[in-house]
């Protein structure tokens, strides 16, 4: 069943006394309309990328801040390539495939573990994890394979998993720390996204390879996240906690990508276990709370920062992962399809209206709930979120292959020992100067912001 929305008629909206005209007239009953809209948003997103120009570094967006101040952290580039792989997978548009493949391959690092030494000043398990999940998506979609002398997408995902599988320690009874290296600010913080990326990757590797070791690690991490209270009985997922307090000082701010990353992991565990009742109830619980917290009026909403537009650059991108991973959930846990698609349709319709600002008059803001009144913000995160929530609406209109496995046509070359060459002693990578060590990965900014009280009201 295809949800229908007023689309053409919504092109001109009366707001106050002035007419605001929308740039896009998205028709969710038309594949062409969805593809055209997503293609233009993707094009505008890629205007930020300079990695394939002379002097640019392949695979990375400008950044990290403060060079330039509006720049991006390394992880978000990895997340963008994952989005572009899905963009190709849904739409068939190969325009960005080569730049995507080249970008990922440039950033695999000296040991092919998605930890290039250039970025050791800001290497979180979540940063590495996002690149690992992008590699996993490439394997699941049979994205164009690297040449034989390069590690396959599956091997890169396995390297990320293997290097992380040995990192949980006894503080707080288990779990991954946020940062990889002891000299980084945040090494004493155990957070939901770092553990969520590992959980997600483990579940998908189990499904892809049928190797139960990955599933066992995923279960262990899930159990730990629940036992320590980062995920509560209602399936709220909170940001993180410090080891100095035995992880009892839980920062209760909630971000949409945490819901997405655990939901898709749980859906893969559901699929891997041939539809177990346990994982079904976990998927249902996460989905229910995702809708309760992040979909007021059926439109995806970044509850921690959207109202006051106090989002950091990272946060502006979170709805991209939420919406893409909701769509991916429908493929491995089909019973969720009819619950999820109406939310993605309403969000897409709203997001398209919000792409109505900037110099070209069609840059996307974050505030999908504000219709065609652009919120004044623009960036890679906003473009990525809008395009993701739009292209996933091809699902009801045309066949989109579900994620492959090694036994259903996946051709990516794996290496279950990948990552073994990784630097065993991370202190060896410690930079000569520590002046720049707060360079920050995903959530440093949150900790800083939280310390100034901006999110304090949420830390009940
Ligand atoms: C870089 O990639 C973008 C996106 O694919 C493309 O439009 C542009 O022409 C490329 N630039 C160079 C110098 O190859
Ligand atoms: C991608 O690269 C391959 C090999 O170099 C080339 O044949 C193909 O035309 C490129 N595709 C695009 C869309 O640029
Ligand atoms: C690391 O930095 C150097 C110097 O800017 C650059 O040439 C190289 O491409 C970078 N490598 C990665 C993986 O970012
Ligand atoms: C730390 O918390 C765990 C529960 O997460 C508990 O089992 C353990 O006893 C606590 N350790 C200390 C030293 O309080
Ligand atoms: C799922 O079903 C397949 C086929 O019957 C079986 O080989 C596999 O072991 C099952 N997986 C689990 C985790 O029970
Ligand atoms: C959905 O969430 C609401 C609010 O937390 C809760 O009362 C209800 O029991 C949940 N339903 C399911 C099926 O989890
Ligand atoms: C697992 O995923 C496949 C591929 O998307 C799907 O066909 C199958 O129905 C799923 N299994 C269950 C138990 O839902
Ligand atoms: C997939 O499974 C086959 C048969 O078990 C095995 O030979 C092959 O190496 C596997 N491929 C990967 C990428 O692991
Ligand atoms: C399963 O994965 C684990 C962890 O990477 C690895 O040690 C083991 O060799 C794998 N088993 C098989 C049969 O490939």
**Size (the chain), residues:** 460
Taking the chain (460 residues) in runs of 10, the rounded mean pLDDT of each run is 34 55 96 98 98 96 93 97 98 98 97 94 96 98 97 98 97 97 95 98 98 98 98 98 98 98 99 98 98 98 98 97 98 98 98 98 98 97 98 97 98 96 67 45 43 32
Range of the domain at 215: 4-458
How far is residue 37's CA from residue 263's CA, in Å, rounded to a whole number?
27
DSSP 1-63: -------GGGGEEEETTEEEE-S----TT-HHHHHHHHHHHHHHHHTT--TTSTTPPTT--S-
C-alpha 145 – ligand 2 centre gap (Å): 13
C-alpha 403 – ligand 7 centre gap (Å): 9
| The ligand 3 atom nearest the CA atom of 107 | 13
Q: What's the pLDDT at 178?
A: 97
Domain count, the chain: 1
Ligand nearest to the CA of 211: 9
CB 167 within 8 A of CB 190: no
CB 202 within 8 A of CB 136: no
Q: What's the pLDDT at 343?
A: 98
C-alpha 13 – ligand 4 centre gap (Å): 56
Q: Is 248 in the pocket of ligand 4 (CB under 6 A)?
A: no
Q: What's the pLDDT at 422?
A: 86
CATH of the domain at 366: 1.50.10.20
Q: Which of 98, 99, 101 to mutate to test the pocket of ligand 2 (most atoms within 8 A of CB)?
A: 98
Q: What is the DSSP letter of 358?
A: T
Atom 6 of ligand 5, residue of closest alpha carbon: 274
Atom 2 of ligand 8, residue of closest alpha carbon: 406
How far is residue 160's CA from residue 204's CA, in Å, rounded to a whole number?
13
DSSP 416-449: TTTTTTS-S-GGGG--S--TTGGG--SSHHHHHH
Model confidence, pTM: 0.92
How far is residue 293's CA from residue 114's CA, in Å, rounded to a whole number?
33
Q: What's the pLDDT at 431?
A: 61
C-alpha 94 – ligand 2 centre gap (Å): 9
Residues with CB under 6 A from ligand 9: 162, 211, 213, 416
| The ligand 3 atom nearest the CA atom of 106 | 13
Both structure tokens of 459: 């830390």
Q: What's the pLDDT at 432?
A: 55
Atom 9 of ligand 4, residue of closest alpha carbon: 173
- The answer to whether the bond into 66 is cis (omega within 30° of 0) is yes
């Amino acid at each position: 069943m295809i949800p229908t929305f007023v689309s053409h008629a919504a092109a001109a909206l009366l707001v106050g006394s002035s007419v605001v005209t929308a740039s896009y007239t998205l028709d969710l009953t038309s594949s062409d309309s969805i593809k055209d809209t997503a293609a233009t948003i993707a094009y505008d997103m890629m205007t930020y990328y300079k990695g394939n120009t002379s002097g640019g570094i392949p695979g990375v967006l400008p950044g990290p801040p403060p060079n330039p101040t509006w720049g991006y952290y390394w992880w978000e580039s990895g997340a963008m390539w994952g989005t572009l792989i899905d963009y190709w997978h849904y739409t068939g548009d190969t325009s960005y495939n080569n730049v995507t493949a080249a970008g990922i391959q440039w950033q695999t690092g000296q040991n092919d573990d998605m930890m290039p030494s250039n970025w050791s000043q800001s290497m979180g398990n979540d940063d590495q994890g996002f690149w690992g999940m992008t590699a996993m998506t490439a394997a699941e979609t049979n994205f164009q394979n690297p040449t034989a002398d390069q590690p396959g997408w599956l091997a890169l995902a396995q390297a990320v998993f293997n290097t992380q599988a040995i990192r949980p320690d006894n503080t707080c009874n288990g779990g991954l720390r946020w940062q990889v290296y002891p000299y980084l600010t945040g090494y004493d913080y155990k957070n939901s996204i770092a553990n969520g990326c590992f959980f997600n990757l483990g579940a998908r590797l189990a499904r892809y390879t049928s190797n139960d070791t990955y599933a066992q690690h995923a279960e262990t991490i899930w159990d730990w996240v629940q036992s320590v209270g980062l995920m509560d009985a209602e399936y709220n997922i909170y940001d993180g906690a410090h080891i100095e307090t035995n992880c009892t000082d839980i920062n209760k701010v909630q971000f949409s990508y945490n819901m997405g990353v655990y939901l898709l992991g749980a859906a893969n565990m559901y699929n891997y276990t041939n539809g177990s009742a346990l994982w079904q109830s976990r998927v249902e619980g996460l989905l229910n709370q995702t809708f309760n917290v992040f979909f007021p009026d059926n439109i995806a909403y970044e509850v921690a920062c959207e109202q006051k537009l106090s989002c950091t650059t990272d946060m502006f991108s979170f709805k991209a992962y939420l919406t893409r991973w909701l769509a991916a959930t429908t493929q491995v846990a089909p019973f969720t399809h009819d619950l999820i698609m109406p939310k993605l349709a309403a969000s897409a319709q709203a997001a398209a209206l919000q792409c109505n600002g900037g110099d070209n008059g069609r840059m996307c803001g974050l505030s999908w709930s504000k219709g065609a009144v652009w919120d004044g913000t623009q960036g890679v995160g906003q473009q990525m979120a809008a395009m993701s929530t739009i292209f996933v609406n091809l699902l009801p209109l045309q066949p989109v292959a579900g994620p492959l496995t090694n036994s259903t046509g996946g051709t990516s070359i794996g290496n279950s020992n990948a990552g073994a060459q990784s630097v065993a002693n991370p202190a060896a990578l410690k930079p000569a100067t520590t002046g720049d060590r707060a360079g920050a990965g995903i959530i440093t900014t949150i900790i800083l912001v939280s310390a100034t009280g901006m999110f304090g009201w949420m830390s009940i």
